Amino acid sequence: MSSTAKGAQLSPYLVFFLVHSMQIGIGVLGFQRQISKTAGYDTWISVLIACVFSHVFLYIFYKIAEIGKGDLNDTHSYAFGRIVGGFFNLVFAFYFITIIIGVIRSYIEILQIWLFQDLSVFWFTFSFLLLSIYIVNGGIRTVTGIAFYSVVIPFYLYFAFLLAVPFSDYSDFLPILHHSFKDIFKATWQLTISYLGYETLLFYYPFIQNPEKSKKWAHLGLIFTCFIYLFITFISFGYYSEPQLQHIIWATLSIWKIVKLSFMWRFEYIGIATWFFVIIPNICIPLWCASRIMKKTFKMKQRSALIWISALILCIVPLLQTRQQINNLLSFINKAGMYLNFVYIPLLLLILLIIKKVKK
């Protein structure tokens, strides 16, 4: 049973929304381009493999949380001591801050290309952060509520993809395994950035009421994420040819262009605006995690940490002006996420098991 005050605890089923909302974001709008160059029509296999790996590492996350008996901050202190553990805490805080910067700047880039060419990066970031600070100040339950609505409200957008089916050709998916296993696993590696985000579980774990019961909901969140990516992959590769996907930056947005309503001919405008609800948890959950890390590492108020982190983000985001700079940042986030999730986290579990064995 969690030691957190009952009024601040989360029901186990809400973990479904926290896990899923962190994995669906900006990446969904344009993940097809890069992986189409690698695995082509066998990309759907890469999506399934990435999903399987995600379930394995989710199991590892829960194992670390159970052994550490607290969030990742406490686990680091337990494993390495206060000073070294504090250093690793700051590494994760820096990682979450870069995720926030990447999400905000990528969304602003979409708005500038598709809607408002002269949109001010600074003022939009300022407004976005004000909203995020307001949400995070409400605590983890408020953040979870936003995650819930980010899944429910935009769900209608997925039905818009079905309008592309009459214009699609799925014969190119055969024969299966047209590409080598090397290419398929390379595409799986490239897809990991789309599945990252569920490592935040290590920080809100103590707030979950009956964490053992939340495991099935967390895994269901991963399955739902896999279904969304698989669904969009089949729609995209059926509607576009492989060479076309390799030259379209935002393939998901381009598919929405075929939707024509009597009162709205540019449905992608509705899609981009609605996607705002999708990316809010991509900001609020890492912001809550980063501020909590600063609170426990430097013994400061979480609200103060929240203000300082937001100010830092506000200073950095406007500095990213070119597409190359944004791509470099996203590549860095991808590599950092892979090393932290797929190298450091398993090593941490091994260290915790050794410590547990020695103490016994």
- Record the pTM: 0.90
Q: To the nearest whole percent, how much of the chain has pLDDT over 70?
A: 96
Mean pLDDT value across residues 19-26: 88
pLDDT digits (tens, 9 = 90+) for 285-295: 999 999 999 99
Per-residue pLDDT of 160-186, as tens digits, reads 888 888 888 877 777 777 777 787 888
Q: E strand or H helix at 289, and its extent?
A: helix 267-298
For the stretch 248-265, pLDDT in tens is: 888 888 888 887 777 777
Cross-strand bridge partners of residue 208:
10
> Domain of 354: which CATH number?
1.20.1740.10
Structure-token pair, residue 254: 């381009």
Amino acid, res. 65:
A
pLDDT at 283: 93
pLDDT tens-place string over residues 32-75: 877 887 777 888 888 888 888 889 989 999 999 888 778 888 89
Q: What letter does residue 159 receive in the DSSP assignment?
A: H
Q: What's the total number of domains in the chain?
A: 1
Selection from 41, 20, 28 nearest residue 161 by Cα: 28
Range of the domain at 269: 6-359
222 touches 239 (CB < 8 A): no
Residue type, 42: D
The model's confidence at residue 4, banded by pLDDT at 50, 70 and 90, is: low
pLDDT band, very low/low/confident/very high, at 3 (cuts 50, 70, 90): low
What does pLDDT average to over the chain?
A: 86
Residue 31 maps to a domain: yes
| DSSP codes of every residue in 312-356 | HHHHHGGG--SHHHHHHHHHHHHHHHHHIIIIIHHHHHHHHHHHH
User: Does the residue 1 lie in any domain?
Assistant: no
Identify the pLDDT of residue 18: 93
d(C-alpha 177, C-alpha 259), whole Å: 32
